[in-house]
Amino acid sequence: TPAKPTAAARADVPNDLEAFWLPFTPNRAFKKRPRLIARAKDMHYYTPEGREILDATAGLWCCNAGHSRKPIVEAIQRQAAELDFSPTFGFAHPPAFQLASRIADLAPADLDHVFFCNSGSEACDSALKIALAYHNVRGQGSRTRLVGRERAYHGVGFGGISVGGIVNNRKFFGSLLSGVDHLPATYNREHQAFTKGEPEWGGHLADALEGIVGLHDASTIAAVIVEPMAGSTGVLPAPKGYLERLRAICDKHGILLIFDEVITGFGRLGHAFAAERYGVVPDMITFAKGVTSGTVPMGGVVVRKGVYDAFMKGPEHAIELFHGYTYSGHPLACAAGLAALDVYRDEKLFERAKALEPRWCDAIMTLKGLPNVLDIRCVGLTGAIDLAPIAGSPGLRGWNATGHAFHEEGIMLRLAGDTIELTPPLVVSEAQIDEIMEKTAAAIRAAA
Ligand code: PLP
């Protein structure tokens, strides 16, 4: 029989926890001791009982402006009353154009065109499809191979899991896309442990792309996709020089370079996009999450002018790209995106993330020496703490630590295996940074 939450008498506590199959969650462990959230404001969540939970995860790396911010909430309300939905296949509405222009302005160089979708997964699959079609329309249809990386996360579509590098996200789902190669992961504890920011060691790992070109020939390779900072596998910043080297090798061989900035976009690393932090211009940038500060689902791909222009050929009445989603550029998402970008600009939140980074990194490194802590990494307003797994039960120590954190310490921590990830909203105060570290330390001790 399903476990019932203790406060079942309350109207906002569901008494049936069985019907909802939670994504990426141990459902049985969760339903034994649910971690329920009923409300949110600024830096905090609140349980149905009204207990305050400090949000050290910006939801799921997305609520960069903090929660339920008035200007964003009101923009969504106004838009719902004004225009609930209009198609973007053959028609369109003003907010979609406005938001695309704003995003293109934020993106570096000639990343001037924006294709909208509804999630990071769709953004990745869209970028991969645009890359394949781009070569095709230029008469280079033999370029069909895609290159991802070990430990990468590009969402859960078949394209994304094919170029992704998380074993459990791949092994249950058949043969995936054929013609995919993987660069080696950039993390190496022996060379990089307890590094603040980008590690010195590892830039040379980009050269593995030359090996893949040597094996298959450049004429068969369409695109390389990487996260400038791999978030979902434990905050792995690009080593110094790595992205520059990838760019140079891609240029040499006519291969498109895609940065998956679903996490790193919109301020997480102290810039609108991480491409700016690293001074490297990719051919496409995928985004999602922070574009609406997590309020309404939205994703997209920012595309360089030359890529877009390659499609704008042939008869003018003919569709140039056979791809899109019913909800591409949904009016509510566009309104939320415009309001979120206003908050980011008016409150200088990207600059704030950059200014806080040294303080943040110093704070997270104070956790070094706690029981089972194997490594700590940080970059931008993001950090991760690797805990030693309990022998024979990988993931259990992490699950216990985040459970203790939620139920006893009043803090939400993100978990990846036995790695705790800290990614607070960019409005986090210095006092809250200290509070995050104190509560995380208590959770790590409790899980020892
Ligand atoms: N790409 C990256 C780099 C991500 O971190 C994520 C989600 O965490 C995704 C893609 C998938 O996004 P979504 O869950 O919105 O599909």
Question: Do 136 and 112 sit in the same domain of this protein?
Answer: yes
Contact residues for 236 (Cβ-Cβ < 8 A; gap 6+): 151, 185, 186, 187, 229, 230, 377
236 half-sphere exposure, CB direction, 13 A CA radius: 24
Average pLDDT, the chain: 96
Question: Do 318 and 358 sit in the same domain of this protein?
Answer: no
Question: Do 436 and 373 sit in the same domain of this protein?
Answer: yes
In a domain, 43, yes or no: yes
Question: Do 306 and 393 sit in the same domain of this protein?
Answer: no
Q: Which residue lies with its CA nearest to atom 8 of ligand 1?
A: 232
- What spacing in Å lies between the alpha carbon of 155 and ligand 1's midpoint? 5
- What spacing in Å lies between the alpha carbon of 254 and ligand 1's midpoint? 27
In a domain, 6, yes or no: no
In a domain, 308, yes or no: yes
Question: Do 217 and 357 sit in the same domain of this protein?
Answer: no
Q: Which of 346, 378, 396 is the last residue of a domain?
A: 346
Ligand 1 close to Cβ of residue 124 (< 6 A): yes
User: What is the interface pTM, i.e. ipTM, of the complex?
Assistant: 0.99
DSSP state of 398: H
- Alpha-carbon distance of 372 to 104, in angstroms, equals 44
Question: Do 83 and 131 sit in the same domain of this protein?
Answer: yes
Ligand 1 close to Cβ of residue 239 (< 6 A): no
Ligand 1 pocket mutation pick from 63, 289, 415 by most atoms within 8 angstroms of CB: 289
In a domain, 5, yes or no: no
Report how many domains make up the chain.
Answer: 2
> Which tokens belong to 218?
């450049």
Q: Which of 346, 371, 395 is the last residue of a domain?
A: 346
- Alpha-carbon distance of 243 to 142, in angstroms, equals 26
213 half-sphere exposure, CB direction, 13 A CA radius: 18
Instruction: Give pLDDT < 50 ranges for the chain.
Output: 1-2, 4-5, 7-9
Nearest ligand 1 atom to alpha carbon 155:
11
- DSSP E strands: which ranges in 305-441? 373-379, 382-387, 411-412, 414-416, 419-422
User: pLDDT at position 15, please?
Assistant: 81
In a domain, 98, yes or no: yes
- DSSP E strands: which ranges in 199-309? 221-226, 229-230, 236-237, 256-260, 284-287, 299-304
Provide the Cα torsion 277, 281, 286, 287; round to 10°: 30
Range of the domain at 373: 35-65+348-446
Ligand 1 close to Cβ of residue 57 (< 6 A): no
**Which CATH number does the domain housing residue 436 bear?**
3.90.1150.10
- What spacing in Å lies between the alpha carbon of 6 and ligand 1's midpoint? 33
Question: Do 82 and 140 sit in the same domain of this protein?
Answer: yes
Tens-place pLDDT, residues 89-129 = 999 999 999 999 999 999 999 999 999 999 999 999 999 99
Question: Do 357 and 431 sit in the same domain of this protein?
Answer: yes
Q: Which of 304, 327, 346 is the last residue of a domain?
A: 346
- Alpha-carbon distance of 424 to 408, in angstroms, equals 19
Count of Cβ atoms closer than 10 Å to residue 377 Cβ: 28
Asked if residues 421 and 234 have their Cβ atoms less than 8 Å apart, the reply is: yes
Tens-place pLDDT, residues 270-323 = 999 999 999 999 999 999 999 999 999 999 999 999 999 999 999 999 999 999
Question: Do 281 and 138 sit in the same domain of this protein?
Answer: yes
Question: Do 328 and 371 sit in the same domain of this protein?
Answer: no
In a domain, 141, yes or no: yes
In a domain, 21, yes or no: no
The pTM (predicted TM-score) of the whole model is 0.97
Question: Do 437 and 317 sit in the same domain of this protein?
Answer: no
Asked if residues 407 and 361 have their Cβ atoms less than 8 Å apart, the reply is: no
Q: Which residue lies with its CA nearest to atom 12 of ligand 1?
A: 120
- What spacing in Å lies between the alpha carbon of 154 and ligand 1's midpoint? 6
Asked if residues 295 and 262 have their Cβ atoms less than 8 Å apart, the reply is: no
Nearest ligand 1 atom to alpha carbon 261:
3
Question: Do 306 and 173 sit in the same domain of this protein?
Answer: yes
